[in-house]
Chains A and B, each alone.
Chain A
Amino acid sequence: KAGVTQTPRYLIKTRGQQVTLSCSPISGHRSVSWYQQTPGQGLQFLFEYFSETQRNKGNFPGRFSGRQFSNSRSEMNVSTLELGDSALYLCASSQSTGGLAEAFFGQGTRLTVV
């Protein structure tokens, strides 16, 4: 069974640009969550989608948005990039939301904003 796939793996953008990251969950998983990881803040929850609906949202500005498609693939978008958005963005999929669902993580997208 293929794991969680995130594309691209690495990305360099300049301030003010926007970026779209993609996540393909494990087949059959309907829940996708996104996290931002930085050395200073650790893993911060961005949002969670289940069956194309946003179930939870973290404390991030409106520049961060996401969506989920009918095939459970998810994208997140960051507009008007700032230097502080440089981070490892991790996507995780699970069979359901909450409960005892184990989360399976992708390898992440390393975003560098210059």
Chain B
Amino acid sequence: SQQGEEDPQALSIQEGENATMNCSYKTSINNLQWYRQNSGRGLVHLILIRSNEREKHSGRLRVTLDTSKKSSSLLITASRAADTASYFCATESFSGNTPLVFGKGTRLSVIA
């Protein structure tokens, strides 16, 4: 079963705008990761945030984590057409030694 649930399922924005995607999960986690997938291809790791971190930045990406609400958000600033892809959150459970569990993803379309 899915651990993470992304919201919204699909998002369409204009180039230059910011895109925010949310992820909720059910159980305690060690860390949460965000991945990007271009149509029908492999996933690319974007960023990892540990359970004791609240915010992390990487270039135009900003990730927040609220363990009390069991939720995370991914913000892409100044979006570009090349950001068009599906974005997935993945969690590793607190018990460790478990595989990453992925949500169903948010489909982002950036219109030039």
Contacts and interface: CB of A to CB of B under 8 A. Distances in A.
Contact of B41 (A55, A92, A97, A108): A108
Nearest to A91: B42
B43 A90 contact: yes
A105 interface: yes
Interface stretch (A11-19, A41-49, A72-80): A41-49
Interface residues of B, number: 26
B111 interface: no
Contacts of A56: 97-99
Interface string A14-43: 000000000000000000010100000011
A107 interface: yes
A48 B99 contact: yes
Contact of B105 (A4, A42, A97, A106): A42
Interface in B69-91: 88, 90
Contacts of A92: 43
A67 interface: no
Contact of B88 (A33, A43, A45, A97): A43
Interface of B: 2, 30-31, 33, 35, 40-45, 48, 50, 88, 90, 92, 96-105
23 contacts: A33-B99, A33-B100, A35-B102, A42-B103, A56-B98, A56-B99, A58-B99, A90-B42, A90-B43, A92-B43, A98-B30, A98-B92, A98-B96, A98-B99, A99-B92, A99-B96, A100-B50, A102-B33, A103-B33, A103-B90, A105-B42, A107-B42, A108-B42
